[in-house]
A and B are shown apart, each in its own frame.
Chain A
Amino acid sequence: MSESRIDRAVNGAMPPLHELSLADKGEETAHHQSQAQSPLRMISSAATAAKDITAKFRAAASALETGQLVKDAYFTLFESVGALEIMDPKMDSGYLKPGEALEDEYDVLQNLPPEEVLGIMDQLLCYEMAWYMGNPLSQTLFTSFYLDRMLWPQPKSLEDAKFDRDKRAAPGNGLIHVLLRAYCVGLIKTCDLAHRTIGGEQYYEEEDFVTNLYHRNLLTDVQTAEVKIVLEEAICWLEAEFALHEALKTALLSRLRFRKAFLVALDFEQGITDAQRPSGWEHCSEILPTLHETRHLGAVVEQSFSGKIQRRLASSVPPRPIVTISFDEACTFLGRLCTHSKEAYSILQYDGPSCAMNYVWYFQARQPQPSVYTRCLLQSLILHYTIVLDQRSIKRFVFDSLQEIVLPGSIMIDPANDDVEAPQDPRFQIVQKMNVFISRVADSYFEIFRAICMNRSRMRRMLCHLIIEWDNIQLEAEAMDTDLRDLTKEQPVVDPKAVGGEIWAFPLSSWAFYLKLQQMEWIVHLGFELDIYRVDELGGMYWQVSSASGEHSNPASRANTHGKREAINNCFTWIDFAMLQASATQSLADGLSCFFAFFANTSILPAPYGQFPYSNGSLRYALRMRPFLGLSIPEVPNYAQFAALASLPLADVPATSKSATKPHSASNNPTAEALALLDSAAEALRNARKEWEAISKASPKIARTTNCDDWWRADVKNVLRACIAANIAVGTAKKAVAGVGKGKGVTDVLRVVVGAEDGDKSKGGYHAFWVVPKVIAL
């Protein structure tokens, strides 16, 4: 006996389906033994006239071959994947096995001992965290009979949100009607707040979070303050309850207090940037340990949850398993959520846009990555309506960035310009032009911040999109730069070596170029972290990093020198540091690039430099460089140029023909060119170590990390460890290679292991962006 999807569709509110249901008529397999309403109920009104089309439908269908698909152009794979098969137990959530009941039975009004109330609270917390992890409510919280009773039918007021909804004198004790109810009300309201915060920012549905509420309302219209009172009353009630065992009482109290603290932490009624917010999160963190310590006092009441509730939530979705996580897991996740959310507020300690960007980058670089709620909270803190970091206008913020990077103390960004009212005054005209510039770039500028608030995979994909836009901005800004020269009375630097004998500052386009290069570097770096590159691609990709960081000398050196002394000094110390950072990145990337090129040229690493049945080096290179192929600058070299620049053997070219550097069979001694690569690697890595050591000594002010210095310093330390390991590896390789000869080939003297290859970064990986090969002398 079974009930099919169609029954429910008909009983529900989908008018045209009464026709469809006729197909079931007379079918022996579907027994509609269930509900009060007939599934064949005809819908009729003045506007509709029902007509039996069974015969026509059957006649038309008989003209089709089995398997023939009748579809219009809009029926895509998406639609086909969304289709469900009625009567298939894995797809039809209404399907019942013989003898199976439509719903599980559970009486939410029964008296429960305190241990079980505690157990239910803890189980709810697990499901709540599973929801924050990105699972749908239907597989988590909405499997609870208590929440189901409270939320359906939709409560009209807070008083209505209770378990005894349709009975006058309800049985059940205070533990249920006071404590558990308050806990559930608090839980639902907190979910509402989280749901709104996440929904208001950018995230990816289903991969980060599932917003579906299944037509339920999470007490959206109820004020947080009212819910707080419910929790406070429950706390008072419990405190006066002398009959309870002390330990249980403490455990229950801590849970109610946590609910209240969590609710307060998520509530933005006083303004999202309210100074009290971080302490709210701290308060949650303080209560958490008690929750964890008293977890064993609770008794699980498994039957108070049921996956069958899903049937009433969404009929067009296949039945899916309840997502269960352990209480330990939930506490760990929640602990991190509280800590990260509290930390997020540090971004409001304003010290300029570079510092804010560093903050987001290092906030996000931690493993495990902050969860979607925290990442959305961070987005709200960065830009709330038109206020940046709780204090700057959008224009002022972008001006701050220009000032930091290219325009120290320039007339172009002088706030005093805004007071000039005479249209013929150059300052007035500068304001006009700069306003145009700001309106052109502002969205794209904040899009960088938004991109680095995403999950790591999306971050890379969004940046791939965004650099194209920044390439356009750079070109447009160049025209604006030229346009503004007359107004700013810029004088070129005379340099006989330069094209045309003079150098112009191009501040706006230089700024755009700087930001674009940063994004290019991030894209490649994230490629390493996300395991996008195969071992044989690492050398080439490090060459790419080196090439992008080498470009940095370009815009940074053009900083405008017509400005106020202090601002210039600031900008110059920053440029010195930025140059050092670019140079250190380039050295390390160069070193690793040469090191991997050595392996490729001596065939030590299992290189793909053989023949692929369907591909060649050039096609693979084109695919790899795809994010950058559309850019006007820097220009992407073609494959042959790239192979020569990165000292890599051309793939698919048999070893006998000419190539950039000839690959060598293992039995041979390495060529002089290959040995030279090892020397270059050693030299670059020596420099890298020195430069990264110098970086690690920079003050937070210089490094622009005043509010994220610990994270930044930890990151630099890991890079430094990678540098040291790479230096040691090159040393080992050089020593081993000296033993080549007398019948010993290069593969007889050394072996190389690349950690990323077995997918485990923790083994030998010091920094996700810097893959250091392990060299073993044989």
Chain B
Amino acid sequence: MSHLTGLAPSDLPSELRFLQYPSSKESTYLPAIRQLISNDLSEPYSICVYRYFLYQWGDLCFMALDADDKLIGVVISKLEAHRGGPMRGYIAMLAVREEYRGKGIATRLVRMAIDIMIERDADEIALETEVTNTAAMKLYERLGFLRSKRLHRYYLNGNSAFRFVLYIKESAATLRYEDYDPELPPSA
């Protein structure tokens, strides 16, 4: 799905708060989350997509808020058995407000999601990013992700994607499962 970010792990602005998405406060946060993520999408996800993730895996969604509780960044993800095989964490969306990019906020958000996934016994974590999104690719590669395949014309705009995968456990390599189709029908 979409990864809209720039990054350099420098100093995180101290006024930022990082918190897990509280499902009880959908009306407070969801409009801002949608706004932030759909900024760069030509075709936005419907509310169903957000609820699909947030209702089932709200605890794998993390937000960065500034002192005025304005949403600065967000990561949305899920974790479930992938086609009857390994427990696969999936980072679906990541976005940081443009003027806050390059401060390590995205890395922090992703790491918070990954930490919980590991706690919950993830075997591996996967995601897709546009082949031209160098900032996102650098972010994930620094965390140890590798490109596992290229997905031709994956996005609606005709751009291709890389699938990135991070093995958490050795067993991930030996678990047999169908792994050859894109996880997600993409947007944007």
Are A and B a genuine interacting pair, yes or no?
yes
Interface residues of A (CB under 8 A from B): 65-69, 77-85, 88, 90-91, 134-135, 204, 206-208, 318, 320-321, 455-458, 460-461, 464-465, 530-534, 537, 608, 612-616, 618-620, 622-626, 629-630, 759
Q: A531-B150, A532-B162 are in contact. List 15 more A-B contacts (CB 8 A).
A: A65-B24, A67-B23, A77-B183, A78-B184, A81-B184, A82-B185, A90-B44, A207-B151, A207-B152, A320-B43, A531-B162, A532-B150, A613-B111, A614-B144, A622-B167
Q: Do A207 and B153 form a contact, CB below 8 Å, given A81-B45, A630-B176? A: yes
A461–B146 touching, CB < 8 Å: no
9 A-B pairs with the lowest CB-CB distances in the bound complex, closest first: A615-B144, A612-B144, A67-B26, A622-B173, A83-B48, A80-B52, A457-B152, A69-B55, A619-B167
A626 to B187 alpha-carbon distance, docked (Å): 28
Q: Whole-angstrom distance from the CB of B117 to the nearest CB of chain A?
A: 10
30 sample A-B contacts, Cβ–Cβ < 8 Å, listed by A number: A66-B27, A67-B26, A67-B55, A69-B55, A77-B184, A78-B185, A80-B52, A81-B45, A81-B184, A81-B187, A82-B185, A83-B49, A90-B43, A206-B153, A207-B152, A207-B153, A320-B43, A457-B152, A531-B150, A614-B118, A614-B166, A615-B144, A615-B167, A616-B144, A619-B167, A619-B168, A620-B167, A623-B146, A626-B173, A630-B176
From known contacts A612-B143, A620-B144, infer whether A629 and B23 are also in contact, taking CB-CB under 8 Å.
no
Query: B95: which A residues are within 8 A, CB to CB?
Result: none
Chain B residue with minimal CB distance to A68? Answer: B55
A537 to B, closest residue via Cβ: B146
Residues in B whose Cβ lies below 8 Å from that of A90: 43-44
Asked if residues B52 and A629 are in contact (CB atoms below 8 Å), the reply is: no
Contact yes or no, B153 A67, CB < 8 A: no
| Residue B35 at the chain A interface, CB threshold 8 Å | no
Are B146's CB and A534's CB within 8 A? yes
Chain B residues in 8 Å Cβ range of A320 = 43, 156
Question: Chain A residues near B16 (CB, 8 Å)?
Answer: none
A614-B144, A630-B176 as given contacts; A85 in contact with B47, CB under 8 Å: yes
Give 1 or 0 for each of B37-57: 1 = CB within 8 Å of chain A CB: 000001111111101101110
Give the interface residue-count category, chain B.
Answer: 35 or more
Interface centre among B23, B46, B160 (most CB of A within 10 A): B46
Contacts of B45 in A (CB 8 A): 81
B7-46 with Cβ < 8 A to chain A = 23-24, 26-27, 30, 42-46
Which chain B positions have C-beta within 8 A of A82? 185
Tell me the bound Cα distance from A204 to B23 in angstroms.
39
Is there an interface contact between B153 and A134, defined as CB atoms closer than 8 Å? yes
Distance (Å) between the CB of A320 and the closest chain B CB? Answer: 7
Specify which chain A residues have a CB less than 8 angstroms from the CB of B143 in the assembled complex. Answer: 612-615
Do A80 and B49 touch (CB < 8 A)? yes
CB contact list, B39-88 vs A, under 8 A: 42-49, 51-52, 54-56
**A532/B156 contact (C-beta < 8 A), A465-B180, A614-B166, A619-B170 known:** no
CA distance in complex: A623, B150 (Å): 15
Known: A318-B43, A465-B180. A622 touches B152 (CB 8 A): no
Chain A residues with Cβ below 8 Å from B48 are 79-81, 83
Give bound CA distance, A13 to B155, whole Å: 31
The reply to whether B52 and A69 form a contact with Cβ atoms under 8 Å apart is yes
Q: Which residue of A134, A608, A616, A622 has the most chain B CB atoms within 10 A of its CB atom?
A: A622
Smallest CB gap from A468: residue in B: B176
- For the complex, what is the distance from the CA of A460 to the CA of B156, rounded to whole Å? 22
Contacts of B23 in A (CB 8 A): 67
In Å, the complex CA distance between A614 and B113 comes to 12
Q: Contact check, B43 vs A629: say whether CB atoms are below 8 A apart.
A: no
Of A134, A530, A759, which one neighbours B158 at CB under 8 angstroms?
Answer: A134
| Chain A residues near B112 (CB-CB < 8 A) | none
Residues of B within 8 A of A88 (CB): 44, 46
| Shortest distance from the beta carbon of A176 to any chain B beta carbon, whole Å | 34
Considering the chains assembled together, what is the distance between the CA atoms of A460 and B44 in angstroms?
A: 31
Using Cβ atoms and an 8 Å threshold, which residues of chain A touch B26? 66-67
Beyond A90-B44, A615-B167, whether A457 also contacts B49 by CB under 8 A is no
Residue of A nearest to B151 (CB): A457
Residue from A77, A207, A461 in contact with B52 in the complex, judged by beta carbons closer than 8 Å: A77
Residues of A within 8 A of B47 (CB): 83, 85
Cβ-neighbour of A458 out of B27, B152, B185 (below 8 A): B152
Task: State A206–B158 Cα separation when bound (angstroms).
Answer: 9
Contacts of B118 in A (CB 8 A): 614
Taking CB as reference atom, which chain A residue is nearest B125? A614
Q: When the two chains form their complex, are residues A614 and B114 in contact, meaning their CB atoms are under 8 A apart?
A: yes
Q: B168 near A614 (CB under 8 angstroms)?
A: yes
Query: In the bound complex, do residue B150 and residue A457 qualify as a contact, i.e. CB atoms below 8 Å apart?
Result: yes
Is B52 a contact partner of A67 (Cβ separation < 8 A)?
no
Q: Complex: how many Å from CA A619 to CA B187?
A: 30
| A544: min CB distance to chain B, Å | 14
Chain B residues, CB < 8 A from A455: 152
When C-beta atoms are compared, the residue in chain B nearest to A630 turns out to be B176
Question: Are A623 and B51 in touch, CB under 8 angstroms?
Answer: no
Contact A623 B148 (CB under 8 A): yes
Q: Cβ of A464: which chain B residues have Cβ within 8 Å of it?
A: 180
A333 to chain B, nearest CB (A): 14
Check B135 for interface membership: any CB of A closer than 8 A: no
CB of B165 within 8 Å of the partner chain: yes
Q: Are B187 and A629 within 8 A (Cβ)?
A: no
What A residues does B168 contact at CB under 8 A? 614, 619
Chain A positions within 8 Å of B51 at CB level: 67, 69, 80
B120 at the interface (CB under 8 A from A): no
Q: CA separation between A527 and B148, bound complex, in Å?
A: 9
Q: Give the residues in chain A near B149, CB-CB below 8 Å.
A: 457, 460-461, 532
Does B141 reach chain A (CB closer than 8 Å)?
yes
Q: How far is the CA of A119 from the CA of B145 in the complex (A)?
A: 51
Best-buried of B48, B156, B176 by chain A (most CB within 10 Å): B48
Docked CA distance A150–B184 (Å): 37
Q: Which chain B residue lies CB-closest to A206?
A: B153
Let me know if B158 and A67 touch, CB within 8 A. Answer: no
| Residue of B144, B146, B174 touching A629 (CB-CB under 8 A) | B174
Nearest CB of B to A65, in Å: 8
Inter-chain contact A91/B27, CB cutoff 8 Å: no
Bound CA span A457–B148, Å: 11
The docked-state distance in angstroms from the alpha carbon of A88 to that of B174 is: 45
Residues in A neighbouring B150, C-beta threshold 8 A: 456-457, 460, 530-532
Q: Within the complex, which residue of A531, A615, A625 is in contact with B147, where a contact is CB–CB below 8 Å?
A: A531
Most buried by B among A69, A88, A464: A69
Query: B89 to chain A: closest CB distance in Å?
Result: 11
CA distance A454 to B24 in the complex (A): 48
A residues near B145, Cβ cutoff 8 Å: 615
A487 to chain B, nearest CB (A): 37
Inter-chain CA distance A416–B147, complex, in Å, is 52
Q: Is the CB of B152 within 8 A of A613?
A: no
Kindly name the residue among A66, A204, A534 whose own CB sees the greatest number of chain B CB atoms within 10 A: A66
Please indicate which of the listed interface residues A66, A81, A614, A620 has the most CB atoms of chain B within 10 Å of its own CB. A614
Asked whether A81 lies within 8 Å of B49 as measured between CB atoms, the reply is: yes
Q: Inside 8 A of A134's CB, which chain B residues have their CB? A: 153, 158
* CB neighbours of A207 from chain B (8 A): 151-154
Give min CB distance, B123 to chain A, whole Å: 11
B46–A531 CB distance below 8 A: no
Chain B hits for A456, CB < 8 A? 150, 152
CB distance from A770 to the nearest CB of B (A): 19
